[in-house]
Amino acid sequence: MLGLGVLFYSFFPGPQHFVHGVYYLLRYFVTEDEKPVLGRTTFDVGIPEAWGDVWLCLVTLLLTVPQPRTDDFVFVPYFAMHVMGYGSPVWLTVLGGAFFTVYISMNPAVLSVCLGALLSRYLTGRNSRMGLILCGIFHLLMSFLEPFKFTFLSVCVVVFMAESKLRLNWQWEIMPPGAYILLSGPVYVMNYFMWGWTHRWKYTDKVWRSPDIIFPVLNIAAGIYLSGMIENEGDISGS
């Protein structure tokens, strides 16, 4: 759903943070917190309340980048599999990592999307009403940093994106990449052969003894370095 919203946004851009902020505050009044259930039991068992989705605003803010692209979602499987330490085929680590590195140098906002996707795995629906209030407040504060230009269609698209961020269901991305097809296109095809990775991501905790997290760390470091080199060469050629 979010990928489809991002695709529509490329045709009908609008003020994301302002619309998100208003929508999340209004949605607070029609949302109920999920209560933990033990199932059938003859005992009165009290379950301690956790913070739950109070930090939902972090997820929505990280997923709200200035220029969202469907290409960004293509790298979520690679990032999640390696950060969580699940292990992945060598061809995905080598080829996917190489494309991810170059893509970071071209579009660093992908790191925000990947981190938001990673944090969304821990959303439980508990205390979501408080999370919606925080989402509304922080998005409205961020709205001062974006241009306030919109149309009816752009508002509809941004509202669709806002709701999609509350109903995230990561799987093989159906929406094809477009802006950086030479970098994200091959990874888009690779992800097809990783079908079912979301099931493991949903039901398996992080493998702390796995060193796979070093690969995205190196990708990020190399991507930032390449981005700096590109900017320096641009400054030299311009002068």
| pLDDT tens readout for residues 166-222 | 888 777 667 788 888 899 999 999 988 887 788 788 778 888 888 889 999 999 999
* Interacting residues of 223 by C-beta distance below 8 A, sequence separation 6+: 100, 101, 102, 103, 104, 105, 108
Please indicate, yes or no, if residue 92 is contained in any of the structural domains. Answer: yes
List the structure tokens of 5. 């919203």
**Which of 5-19, 48-62, 101-115 has the weakest average pLDDT?**
48-62
How confident is the model over 97-125, as a mean pLDDT? 90
| pLDDT tens readout for residues 10-54 | 899 989 999 999 999 999 888 877 666 665 555 555 555 556 677
At residue 196, the pLDDT reads 76
Please indicate, yes or no, if residue 39 is contained in any of the structural domains. Answer: no
26 and 103 Cβ atoms separated by less than 8 Å: no
Q: What is the tally of structural domains in the chain?
A: 1
What pTM was computed for the model?
A: 0.85
SS3 140: helix
Please indicate, yes or no, if residue 45 is contained in any of the structural domains. Answer: no
Please indicate, yes or no, if residue 101 is contained in any of the structural domains. Answer: yes
Please indicate, yes or no, if residue 41 is contained in any of the structural domains. Answer: no
| pLDDT tens readout for residues 124-168 | 777 788 889 999 999 999 999 888 888 899 999 999 999 999 888
Which residues span the domain enclosing 209? 2-34+50-238
Please indicate, yes or no, if residue 181 is contained in any of the structural domains. Answer: yes
Question: What's the angle, vertex CA 102, arms to CA 99 and CA 107, rounded to 5?
Answer: 110
On the CB side of 181, how many CA atoms lie within 13 Å of its CA?
3
Per residue, what are the HEC states of 26-49? HHHHHCCCCCCCCCCCCCCCCCCC
